[in-house]
C-alpha cells in the first residue's frame, strides 16, 4: 500500500520554471504532479512548449492572459480567479500578469497538474511567443 501525503504551500518558491515563473512544488503520484505558479504584476513569461507532458491549470488570483498555439490555431484567453484551462502536449504557450484591475499589485497565481509527473530538465523547450518576455527562462 502506498502512503498518502499532505503538504502546505511553501512560503517561498522552490524553483524557477522553464518559462521564468516562480514555482512552488506541491505533491505527485504516479500519474501526475501538482505545482503552484506565480508571476508578478507586469511580468510576461518566456514562451515554451512541452515534449511529453500535458497540463491543466486553475487560476487562483490576479489577472492576466494566456496565449496558446497548436499548428495554425491560436488564442489568447483572459486569466482571472476561477478560470481553468488545458495545455495539451506540444502546445506553445505564454502567459502574463496584467497591471490594473481591483488590485493592481496582485500577482497572477495558478495551480497546475502535470500528466505524467514533471520529468525534469529538458521537458520544456523555448518557442517563439506572442509577447516579449520580461523575465528569463530557467
pLDDT value at position 101?
Answer: 57
pLDDT value at position 64?
Answer: 97
Percent of the chain with pLDDT over 70: 96
Longest alpha-carbon distance in the chain: 49
CA 31 from chain centre, in angstroms, equals 18
**CATH architecture under which domain 15-118 falls:** Sandwich (2.60)
Q: pTM, whole model, 2 decimals?
A: 0.93
Can you tell me the mean pLDDT for 48-70?
98
Can you tell me the mean pLDDT for 49-78?
97
Greater confidence, 138 or 125? 125
Can you tell me the mean pLDDT for 84-111?
89
pLDDT value at position 103?
Answer: 58
**Cα dihedral sign, 17-21-22-23:** negative
Q: In what order do the strands lie in the sheet with 63-70?
A: 73-80, 63-70, 92-97, 48-50, 124-126
pLDDT range class, residue 100, cuts 50, 70, 90: low
CA 51 from chain centre, in angstroms, equals 15
Lowest average pLDDT, out of 9-18, 29-38, 100-109, goes to 100-109
104 pLDDT more than 70? no
pLDDT range class, residue 20, cuts 50, 70, 90: very high
Can you tell me the mean pLDDT for 92-105?
81
Amino acid at each position: 500500500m502506498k502512503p498518502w501525503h499532505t503538504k502546505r504551500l511553501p512560503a517561498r518558491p522552490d524553483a524557477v520554471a522553464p518559462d521564468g515563473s516562480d514555482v512552488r512544488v506541491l505533491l505527485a503520484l504516479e500519474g501526475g504532479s501538482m505545482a503552484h505558479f506565480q508571476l508578478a504584476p507586469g511580468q510576461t513569461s518566456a514562451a515554451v512548449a512541452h515534449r511529453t507532458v500535458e497540463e491543466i491549470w486553475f487560476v487562483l488570483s490576479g489577472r492576466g492572459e494566456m496565449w496558446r498555439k497548436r499548428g495554425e490555431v491560436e488564442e489568447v484567453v483572459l486569466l482571472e480567479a476561477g478560470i481553468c484551462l488545458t495545455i495539451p502536449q506540444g502546445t506553445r504557450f505564454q502567459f502574463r500578469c496584467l497591471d490594473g484591475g481591483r488590485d493592481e499589485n496582485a500577482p497572477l497565481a495558478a495551480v497546475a497538474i502535470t500528466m505524467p509527473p514533471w520529468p525534469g530538465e529538458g521537458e520544456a523547450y523555448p518557442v517563439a511567443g506572442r509577447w516579449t518576455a520580461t523575465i528569463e527562462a530557467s
